[in-house]
Amino acid sequence: MRAGFYTGNYTYEVRDVPERAPIKDEVKIEVAWCGLCGTDLHKFNGQNGASVVNPPIILGHECSGIVVEVGPECKYFKPGDRVTCDPSYGCGKCIWCQQGLPNFCLERHGVAKGFADYVYPPEQNVYHISNHLDLQSAALAEPLSCVIHGLDLIQIQSGKTVAIYGMGSIGLLMLQLVRYTGAGKIIVVEKETIKQKLALKLGADMAVNSDQLEQISKEENIDYVIECIGLKKTMEQAIHVAGKNAKVLLFGLGNPKQPLQFNQFEAYTKELSIYTSYLNPQTTNRAVHFLESGLLNIKDMISAELSLEEMGNELRNHIYSKQGKVMVYLSGKR
């Protein structure tokens, strides 16, 4: 089978790796689609993703597909099932797993590296999807589950004003979920006109640039600010424009070598709460339900469908990932 590897030093290679039968409770899945995540781009650029990177590694962790074979101990899946995956699980034994915090597991196991024709996750990481949900949308269960966890942390109250920085694929998912939490007003901060238009179509009340948001923040209280870019500048701005008693969620993946600076006195006088969000503890099931509800517009978020072989160029040049969500097709089944 083919697999797309990050081999270190800004290089990507499609290699042939042996295909095998599933063992124990593994589910062998013929991958249909895999989303390109911002963390894949980080890894390709020599930075860490959500964890440390030791190449060569197979990229991708947002995949969906069809079960082709199951291991002898597998109970809940059979060939032909349509599924999506959670790409990692906790050991169940360490101090963090014992506290119900598997996202901090000391030996987190990565599975379902989706830039490959087949993946072999254990069944605890596999989720059934209904027949009416297309496999391409189902591949977004992982990023959506991360967004759900972030929103769980800040508990948006209905009627309040929310600003969201960055309309990449995470920002667009965030926007649509925030709409359904009953936010009173959603202001998105985005410099690209084409993405501003898309944000307005997907439920934003206003789309502005960062200077305009700064002006707005002087006239009205921004109750929640969600940063989905990960740049020092925009994260610092997010803290600055947040209003009295506001909550700031720094969701974007920042550069570990660039600590933020902010004025503590200003934060103090606003009684600010600053949140971060790490991975997706037990939220995949809810992500699948949300996708199945049909409430989310996934189609308009997708900027390109590329083959495994075309990903080298995309990882180097970010042509389509700048415009929206890039989907890699493996079998390409819907």
Say whether residue 53 binds Zn ion (CB under 5 A). no
142: its two tokens: 């992982």
Strand locations in the chain, DSSP E? 2-8, 11-16, 27-35, 57-58, 62-70, 82-85, 88-89, 109-110, 118-119, 126-128, 161-165, 185-189, 206-208, 224-227, 247-250, 273-276, 302-307, 325-329
Residue 37 or 135: the one with the smaller Cβ distance to Zn ion is: 37
CB of 153 to Zn ion, least distance (A): 18
Which letter, b or e, does each residue of 151-180 get, where b requires 16 or more Cβ atoms within 10 Å of its Cβ? beebebeeebbbbbbbbbbbbbbbbbbbbe
How many residues does this entry show for the chain?
334
Residues binding Zn ion: number (CB under 5 A): 7
Q: Which of residues 136-155 bind Zn ion (CB under 5 A)?
A: 143
Query: Which of 105, 151, 167, 250 forms a contact with Zn ion (CB under 5 A)?
Result: 105
Measured from the CB of residue 195, what is the shortest distance to Zn ion in angstroms? Answer: 19
Question: Phi and psi of 286, rounded to 5°?
Answer: -70, -35
Nearer to Zn ion, 90 or 230 (CB): 90
Among 29-37, 117-125, 196-204, 294-302, the segment contacting Zn ion (CB under 5 A): 29-37
Which range in 8-16, 102-110, 198-206, 303-311 contacts Zn ion by CB under 5 A? 102-110
| Number of C-beta neighbours around residue 261 at 10 A | 9
Over the window 200 to 219, marking each residue x when it contacts Zn ion by CB under 5 A and - when it does not, the resulting string is --------------------
Q: Does 91 bind Zn ion (CB under 5 A)?
A: yes
By CB under 5 A, is residue 60 in contact with Zn ion? no
Place of tokens 């004003």: 161
Q: How far is the CB of 62 from Zn ion (least distance, A)?
A: 5
Contact residues for Zn ion (CB under 5 A)? 37, 90-91, 94, 97, 105, 143
